[in-house]
Amino acid sequence: MQAKPKPARASAAVFRPLDRAPAYLRLAEVIRARILAGELAPGDALPIETSLADQLGVNRSTLREALRHLQSAGLLERPGGGKKLLIARPAMESLSHGLSAALTLHGARFGDVWEALLAVEPAIAAAAATRATGGQRDELRSLAAAFTRSEGTDRDRVTTVGQFFRLLAACTSNPVFVVAHEPLVRLLEPGLARIIDILPQARRRIATAQSALCDALEAGDPDEAARWMRRHIEDFRRGFEQAGLSPDTVVGGAP
């Protein structure tokens, strides 16, 4: 008896869907790739629209849409509102704002933020201890003193804490540290405001940690700086819980 033929198995997909993105987005990606490859450096001027459209083989309306898209991404700028378009570096502010919004939309919780800070911030403090300039150390000490004086509102105090964290990251001279930690600091600030408002002792503990960090930087001691930063971040976690803010609370949501 002849065996029945086995049904043919579906072959693995070997084709990708055609790129149906609008022409201006595909064009923007071509220009963006040249920028990221270093072929176009910050400060370089793009050719005038007519010449650029001819080089790329596109009409000027498509080109304008692509250039506007790259401007909104911070990769192009018109200094002083002039006609020349220059290659630019995206501002740290715009990068961190977008990342913070993305983390909020993806349901990041305060506990997630705390865990990430615990992984990143001690490394930042250790690097800052060996790289900070004398001027940066003086500025950090001034910020710590301003917080200790408790001038202004709780919002002002939170702003001062944020400035301290941001300057500490700048002390590393490592742009990856700066970009990586900024969204986390932004997401930490709402919870920190509540801690400072509800727990007066939190102000003293923050002031103590900032002073110790300044001492570690002045001594050039990376291990001590990392130890105090780890303790500082762990204090934030305890403060969340004592203030009744669950680590499972989604950042940007109601406490």
- CA 180/CA 184 separation, integer angstroms: 8
Q: Convert the pLDDT of each residue in 94-108 to its tens digit.
A: 666 666 677 777 778
pTM: 0.69
232 in the same domain as 201: yes
DSSP state of 252: T
- How far apart CA 45 and CA 31 sit, in angstroms, is 13
Q: Do 100 and 71 lie in a common domain?
A: no
**CATH value at residue 53:** 1.10.10.10
* pLDDT 10s digits, 56-107: 999 999 999 999 988 887 888 888 877 889 998 876 666 666 666 777 777 7
Domain span at residue 165?
Answer: 93-242
Structural domain contains residue 5: no
- Count of structural domains within the chain: 2
Determine how β-strand 86-87 pairs with β-strand 76-77: antiparallel
* One-character DSSP codes across 25-92: HHHHHHHHHHHHTTSS-TTPBPPPHHHHHHHHT--HHHHHHHHHHHHHTTSEE-GGG-S--EE-PPPH
152 and 31 assigned to the same domain: no
From 38, 58, 87, give the residue that closes a domain: 87
Please give the average per-residue pLDDT across 214-234, as a whole number.
Answer: 97
- Contact (Cβ atoms closer than 8 angstroms) between residue 76 and residue 67: yes
Whether residue 223 lies inside any domain: the answer is yes
